[in-house]
A and B are shown apart, each in its own frame.
Chain A
């Protein structure tokens, strides 16, 4: 079997080897462009220090913790999460009730066809 052949998806095609070749060419072009830039990087200078709003960040704030990420997304979908999260009660009887609910719906559908 020819492992390099293209994967036919019915309406399109996918060839990882062509993608890899294109990726390599893109990387070479990117490196070429980068090499024409001016080298002003100075290690251990102010260039390498993290700043928050123009002020030097305290050491314990260097790393943004997981709880601070996607605040905007969660705030925008607050209504959705306020409904969804409480359903996850952690109570076994609730889990069983959900299963019984799905069985009931499926029985209605199954016996009507």
Chain B
């Protein structure tokens, strides 16, 4: 029984949240049962994801073929060709699965209290489970068209969730913006997939990677894939939708929108390294520099736009853009030196590890920061920093969680953001000292920005307007505390995290031949 469950864990990873999503309208009318149903099924989803990731890190990559008599048989019998939809789960996919599993669980716990007072919650949780299924599918699928489907599932459910509080016009606008940007991006991805399919009669990523000829059509397909994915992860100068959407969405949704943005970032890296990452065939360094340029722009513009903001969630959204810049920078350096074995060994691998480590760190501390902002909004009903103050007296746990998240995002030791930023600073300095200095300057500005937020929200005497404010409800506190503990834990044992999940993920991303061989066989 257990071995069967383990064998079909990739299918369960999608099946459980989909079952939860479609059953929710049927069983979710009763609030008590809905809560129980939500927490049980999200726990199962997260546990399945963590179990699957553990087995990948322990035993190596997994190929799971849907509909095949033997789910591990990638090639259709007699054809020697991967026909069916399959999941190809290597260490990079497993890393992303861990991120989604952790955040999905924390966000669900939090939302049970934060969003509990609203109507239509069976629809809310249906959409949340759909978004989780979409994100998990995006990072695990080995099929490009299947990726497009999951991208659409995550995008449409995200847009609907962003507009969940329909009594506020700005939320509907935010949802519409997210839907339009996602729709445009999805269309571009679909055209790119069509271009590749028309040439190679294949949709499987490994099959395409093995047969790609780097024709002009292929390069057009690359651009049509890479640019919308960069837009979806909030890279400057295509970041404009991010503050609009993140600020207006419910905080639990915003925290998970960060994760779906990171799933797009994963897809961008997968396209660059696995599908097109052949330095012998094209000058891949040009694309590496393109990603580095996006990263530097995102870091600097994001943080400088954050500082003057008065809306706490809008401010945090700009910081999300800025932090995405670090990830783009770290992994972009790896791509830029992909064809130079010495540079890759000297600093490229470390830079990639830093970038990937920053993905998981950012998901945790940024999720935490959005949840603390949501807890404050839940109690005082405003996101305007000018109308806050003195909340440290009445919301001490929220304040402590905020401090952990703020110090982590600013890269202050010993919190988790410091370890990943240190890897990025030192390796990027070897690549280009000027860029490393910009990265450090951005961290200083990030600290300055969060000092302002901390002072405005929590410091000062009790404000007359907020005299009756109490600490956030317990499920919200548990959700925040879970992430705060991880912020500290990942900061205290960075070596264990890097050696056990980050470096294998970076190696998997670099091992294009290994990814192809996992599906098609061979050495």
Where the two chains meet, the residues of A that have a C-beta atom closer than 8 Å to any C-beta of B are 1-7, 9-12, 14, 16-17, 19-20, 62-67, 69-70, 73-74, 77, 80-81, 84-85, 87-90, 92, 94-96, 98-99, 101-103, 106-107, 109-111, 113
Enumerate chain B residues within 8 angstroms of A6, measured Cβ to Cβ.
495
Query: Cβ of B460 and Cβ of A63 under 8 Å apart?
Result: yes
Name the interface size band of chain B: 35 or more
Contacting residue for A63 out of B181, B216, B390, CB 8 A = B390
Q: Lowest 7 CB-CB distances: which A-B pairs, in order? A: A63-B460, A66-B385, A66-B456, A110-B219, A16-B414, A63-B389, A10-B350
A23 vs B366: C-alpha distance when bound (angstroms): 26
Query: Cβ of B310 and Cβ of A99 under 8 Å apart?
Result: no
Output the least CB separation between B191 and chain A (Å).
11
Enumerate chain B residues within 8 angstroms of A69, measured Cβ to Cβ.
452, 455-456
Query: Cβ of A99 and Cβ of B219 under 8 Å apart?
Result: no
Contacting residue for A1 out of B241, B307, B500, CB 8 A = B500
Interface of A is mostly: helix
Query: Cβ of A63 and Cβ of B459 under 8 Å apart?
Result: yes
Q: Mark B472-508, 1 if CB is under 8 A from A, else 0.
A: 0000000000000000000111111011100000000
Enumerate chain A residues within 8 angstroms of B228, measured Cβ to Cβ.
99
Contacting residue for A103 out of B227, B427, B461, B494, CB 8 A = B227
Interface of B is mostly: helix
Q: Mark B334-358, 1 if CB is under 8 A from A, else 0.
A: 0000000000001100100000000
Sample (14) of A-B pairs whose CB atoms are under 8 Å apart: A3-B495, A7-B494, A10-B346, A10-B426, A64-B455, A67-B310, A67-B385, A81-B308, A84-B304, A85-B305, A90-B240, A106-B223, A111-B216, A113-B219
Enumerate chain A residues within 8 angstroms of B500, measured Cβ to Cβ.
1
A47 vs B463: C-alpha distance when bound (angstroms): 21
Enumerate chain A residues within 8 angstroms of B227, measured Cβ to Cβ.
99, 102-103, 106
A65 vs B463: C-alpha distance when bound (angstroms): 12
A40 vs B244: C-alpha distance when bound (angstroms): 52
Contacting residue for B386 out of A10, A66, A85, A101, CB 8 A = A66
| B37 adjacent to chain A (CB < 8 Å) | no
Query: Cβ of B307 and Cβ of A73 under 8 Å apart?
Result: yes
| B149 adjacent to chain A (CB < 8 Å) | no
Output the least CB separation between B489 and chain A (Å).
10
| B15 adjacent to chain A (CB < 8 Å) | no
A103/B390 contact (C-beta < 8 A), A16-B413, A65-B385, A113-B286 known: no
Enumerate chain A residues within 8 angstroms of B495, measured Cβ to Cβ.
2-7
Query: Cβ of A65 and Cβ of B226 under 8 Å apart?
Result: no
Q: Mark B302-344, 1 if CB is under 8 A from A, else 0.
A: 0011011010000000000000000000000000000000000
Enumerate chain B residues within 8 angstroms of A87, measured Cβ to Cβ.
237, 240
Enumerate chain B residues within 8 angstroms of A101, measured Cβ to Cβ.
237
Contacting residue for B347 out of A7, A10, A63, CB 8 A = A10
Query: Cβ of A95 and Cβ of B301 under 8 Å apart?
Result: no
| B220 adjacent to chain A (CB < 8 Å) | yes
The chain B residue sitting closest to A73, CB to CB, is: B307
Query: Cβ of A102 and Cβ of B237 under 8 Å apart?
Result: yes
Query: Cβ of A70 and Cβ of B238 under 8 Å apart?
Result: no
Contacting residue for A90 out of B244, B346, B419, B452, CB 8 A = B244
| B184 adjacent to chain A (CB < 8 Å) | yes
Contacting residue for B492 out of A17, A66, A81, A92, CB 8 A = A17
Within 8 A of A (CB), among B266-307: 282-283, 286, 290, 301, 304-305, 307
